[in-house]
Chain A
Amino acid sequence: MLTVATGNKAVALAVKQAKPVVVAIYPITPQTEIVEQIAQYVSQGDLSARYIDVESEHSAMAACIGASMTGVRTFTATSSQGLLYMHEMTNWAAGARLPIVMANVNRAIGPGWNIWAEHTDAMQERDTGWLQVYVSTVQEAYDTTLMAFRIAEHNDVLLPVMVNLDGFLLSHVMQPLDTVEPADFIPPLHLPHTVDPKNPMGYGTLTGPDEYFKFRWDIERSMRDSLRVIEAAHKEFFQRFGRTYGFTEDYRCEDADVVVVSMGTLGKEVEVAVDNLRNEGIRAGSMRLRWFRPFPKLDLMNRDVVVIDRDYSFGFGGVLAHSIQAKNRTGVFSVIAGLGGQEVTYDDIAGFVKNRHIGREYWFGVSDNV
């Protein structure tokens, strides 16, 4: 059914349709609309979940962990400071192999207080064992949230999934939304290590140097297996609902001399820049990365690569730029833009492409950078 929704409402709607048994959330701007919408679904009886009004994000993730261990579907949402506050427990969720789904509304980190879009919050979670996907439209936020449950709960994955959407730029923008009836697209959850008093076991017990690394390897093995599971989910989603998704969204890349790689809403703005550049005779393309963990193989051979990072790792560089350099053994022009909601237009992006300098880093809007 064609309707309209904000990014936050689209996520909440998908969660309602996925029917989690326990939802534990703490409010934070710009995610709060998700909290409120789900609370409303529960209070109206549209979603028969246990809604836990936790007293912090740390407790939100802990409550999801406790619930998930009983083998039920769980969901939470957060942003920025909240994500950082739950960081200890995001590690725990992945280590305990719990398929929790979380929406993270990407927002900058203080100080100074800044409630606008940035990806550094989620980047600080990249080594936790969570799958991470970044979306660019309201439709994609909805579709991907549905897929997230299926992927997380797949027996070959059993790892948590974080769906990232840009604060305000997507969380609060209203766009068309075509809803679906997920039916058995998300099969029932069968957690093999469900806590059961009839079969008492220790969970997360003291694990020594001769054993611990095996569990770590098991996470990595599932992370690698998840590539196949994600691909299958994309395929199944297309067959059932007719919309196509991949690890990346490629736009006019086939014959491109220069490809701009980015994540989130910026990726859509890049497509407009690509059209304009092509009108000027510059063969540009856009590759918007959807899945950041697991990090897919990108086809970037034999062309110039411009990477826009809406994040930064101090003393190192843009996280996406460096990931691509490391994985693809290719030089890139690294642009740092959009931090804390900094306005980046398609004209600005066209400028990055025209003035690219492979091997260098450029901070948009800062005059004294190299």
Chain B
Amino acid sequence: MPKEEFVLKGTSACPGCSASLALRYVLKAAGPDTVLIVPACCTSVVQGMYPNTAVNVPVVNVGFATAGASASGMSNALRALGKKTNVVVYAGDGGTLDIGIQALSGALERGTDFLYVCYDNEAYGNTGMQRSGGTPLGAKTTTTPLGKPEVKKDIERIVAAHEPPFMATACAAYPQDLFRKVKKALSIRGPSFIHVLAPCPPGWRYPTEKSVEIGKLAVKSGVWVLYEREYGQLAISSPSRTALKNPIPLEEYLAPQGRFAGIDPKTLDILKQRIAKNLQRLAREESGVC
């Protein structure tokens, strides 16, 4: 991994922020000829306050619902000028799964040449952890104090329905995997999408030093599966391939997180069933059954 840093000292990130860690790897992979497009999200604040910035590529802050559309405009203009500059969106789950889904869908459908990275901390983090479409079943947020009664929106299958040339999942706990996927995404013309799980210490209510550990538990329990889909061909990535041979119980992932404290057995059972179903679906797809 290159030594050059594009996320410099002096960010306003919370201690243990895995979204900022993921951004560090994303930009190391993308390199200096990159424009980062950021809709309203934690990164709007993390990058620093005028007149300073802690990010060493141009960062264009855009309207909450507009990441996909803003990137469309920028990518088209740069390509018209004959420039190969990477156009990378770095958006949260609210800006991707909820308010920005229309612009994302439009940009994917139009074949925009860009990479959309959604870092998913499973709630509206910047405003203090309110429920989003990315919040999982049973998780407590400030607007679901009893735990979210609905399941997490499956943005990956929504994105997959647009048939982008490349899409993948990742997690900051697996930097090499994330780095490689960003490189690959940017080597392919057209739209690509990477869904990054971003454990959040204050939001998920776990100690700040445990972000990497929580990310690893997510993969080891199968609640988060690392994979990539290139031109429709699915491949489970090696950390998940290894982990899924002998997955740990889901409880080991949930227990350190305050947001799942007191989860009832019925909800736990539904979560487990959904993980099993998802793994089955991915296995079938990888083996070419569906």
Q: Do chains A and B touch in the complex (CB under 8 A)?
A: yes
**Residues of A in contact with B (beta carbons under 8 Å apart):** 21-22, 24, 49-50, 52-56, 58-60, 62-70, 72, 74, 88-89, 92, 195-197, 199-208, 211
Q: Which of A24, A59, A89, A92 contacts B68 (CB 8 A)?
A: A59
User: Do residues B56 and A200 form an inter-chain contact, with CB atoms below 8 A?
Assistant: yes
Q: Which residues does chain B contribute within 8 Å of A211, judged by CB atoms?
A: 50-51
Q: Which residues does chain A contribute within 8 Å of B65, judged by CB atoms?
A: 58, 62, 88
User: Do residues B61 and A54 form an inter-chain contact, with CB atoms below 8 A?
Assistant: no
Using A55-B103, A58-B65, A206-B50 as known contacts, say yes or no to A70 and B57 having CB atoms under 8 A apart: no
**Residues of B in contact with A (beta carbons under 8 Å apart):** 32-35, 37, 44-45, 47-51, 53, 55-63, 65-66, 68-81, 85, 102-103, 105-106, 109-110
Cα(A199)–Cα(B58), bound, Å: 8
User: Do residues B74 and A201 form an inter-chain contact, with CB atoms below 8 A?
Assistant: no
User: Do residues A201 and B80 form an inter-chain contact, with CB atoms below 8 A?
Assistant: no
Using A66-B72, A201-B53, A207-B49 as known contacts, say yes or no to A22 and B110 having CB atoms under 8 A apart: no
Q: Which residues does chain B contribute within 8 Å of A54, judged by CB atoms?
A: 69, 72, 106
User: Do residues B103 and A62 form an inter-chain contact, with CB atoms below 8 A?
Assistant: yes
Q: Which residues does chain B contribute within 8 Å of A64, judged by CB atoms?
A: 73
User: Do residues A195 and B60 form an inter-chain contact, with CB atoms below 8 A?
Assistant: yes
User: Do residues B57 and A206 form an inter-chain contact, with CB atoms below 8 A?
Assistant: no
User: Do residues B60 and A66 form an inter-chain contact, with CB atoms below 8 A?
Assistant: yes
CB distance from B110 to the nearest CB of A (A): 6
Q: Which of A50, A53, A203, A207 contacts B77 (CB 8 A)?
A: A50
User: Do residues B81 and A72 form an inter-chain contact, with CB atoms below 8 A?
Assistant: yes
Q: Beyond A65-B62, A72-B77, list 10 extra A-B contacts (CB 8 Å).
A: A55-B69, A58-B66, A59-B102, A67-B74, A74-B77, A195-B60, A200-B57, A205-B48, A205-B50, A206-B48
User: Do residues B81 and A70 form an inter-chain contact, with CB atoms below 8 A?
Assistant: yes
Q: Which residues does chain B contribute within 8 Å of A55, judged by CB atoms?
A: 69, 102-103, 105-106, 109
Q: Which residues does chain A contribute within 8 Å of B109, judged by CB atoms?
A: 55
User: Do residues A89 and B80 form an inter-chain contact, with CB atoms below 8 A?
Assistant: no
Nearest 8 Cβ contacts at the A-B interface: A66-B73, A63-B73, A55-B106, A59-B69, A62-B66, A202-B53, A204-B61, A66-B74
Cα(A363)–Cα(B33), bound, Å: 59
User: Do residues B72 and A63 form an inter-chain contact, with CB atoms below 8 A?
Assistant: yes
Using A21-B80, A207-B50 as known contacts, say yes or no to A89 and B66 having CB atoms under 8 A apart: yes
Using A55-B103, A66-B71, A200-B55 as known contacts, say yes or no to A206 and B49 having CB atoms under 8 A apart: yes
CB distance from A195 to the nearest CB of B (A): 5
- Chain A residue with the shortest CB-CB distance to B106: A55
Q: Which of B45, B49, B85 contacts A197 (CB 8 A)?
A: B85
User: Do residues A52 and B110 form an inter-chain contact, with CB atoms below 8 A?
Assistant: yes
User: Do residues B68 and A202 form an inter-chain contact, with CB atoms below 8 A?
Assistant: no
> Which of B34, B51, B74, B81 lies at the interface centre, i.e. has the most chain A CB atoms within 10 A of its CB?
B74
Q: Which of A63, A66, A88, A201 contacts B58 (CB 8 A)?
A: A201
User: Do residues B74 and A202 form an inter-chain contact, with CB atoms below 8 A?
Assistant: no
Q: Which of B37, B61, B80 contacts A72 (CB 8 A)?
A: B80
Cα(A69)–Cα(B78), bound, Å: 10
Q: Which residues does chain A contribute within 8 Å of B69, judged by CB atoms?
A: 24, 54-56, 58-60, 62-63, 66
Q: Which residues does chain A contribute within 8 Å of B62, judged by CB atoms?
A: 62, 65-66, 92, 204
User: Do residues A62 and B80 form an inter-chain contact, with CB atoms below 8 A?
Assistant: no
User: Do residues B33 and A197 form an inter-chain contact, with CB atoms below 8 A?
Assistant: yes
Q: Which residues does chain A contribute within 8 Å of B35, judged by CB atoms?
A: 195, 197
Q: Which residues does chain B contribute within 8 Å of A67, judged by CB atoms?
A: 73-74, 76-77
Cα(A64)–Cα(B49), bound, Å: 25
Q: Which residues does chain A contribute within 8 Å of B106, judged by CB atoms?
A: 54-56, 59
User: Do residues B50 and A202 form an inter-chain contact, with CB atoms below 8 A?
Assistant: yes
Cα(A65)–Cα(B71), bound, Å: 9
Cα(A196)–Cα(B72), bound, Å: 17
Cα(A213)–Cα(B59), bound, Å: 22
Cα(A228)–Cα(B69), bound, Å: 34
- Chain A residue with the shortest CB-CB distance to B103: A59
Q: List 29 A-B contacts (CB under 8 A).
A: A24-B69, A50-B76, A50-B77, A53-B110, A54-B72, A59-B72, A59-B106, A62-B66, A62-B70, A62-B103, A66-B69, A66-B71, A66-B75, A67-B73, A68-B73, A68-B77, A69-B60, A70-B74, A70-B81, A72-B80, A197-B33, A200-B58, A200-B59, A202-B61, A203-B59, A203-B60, A205-B50, A206-B44, A206-B48
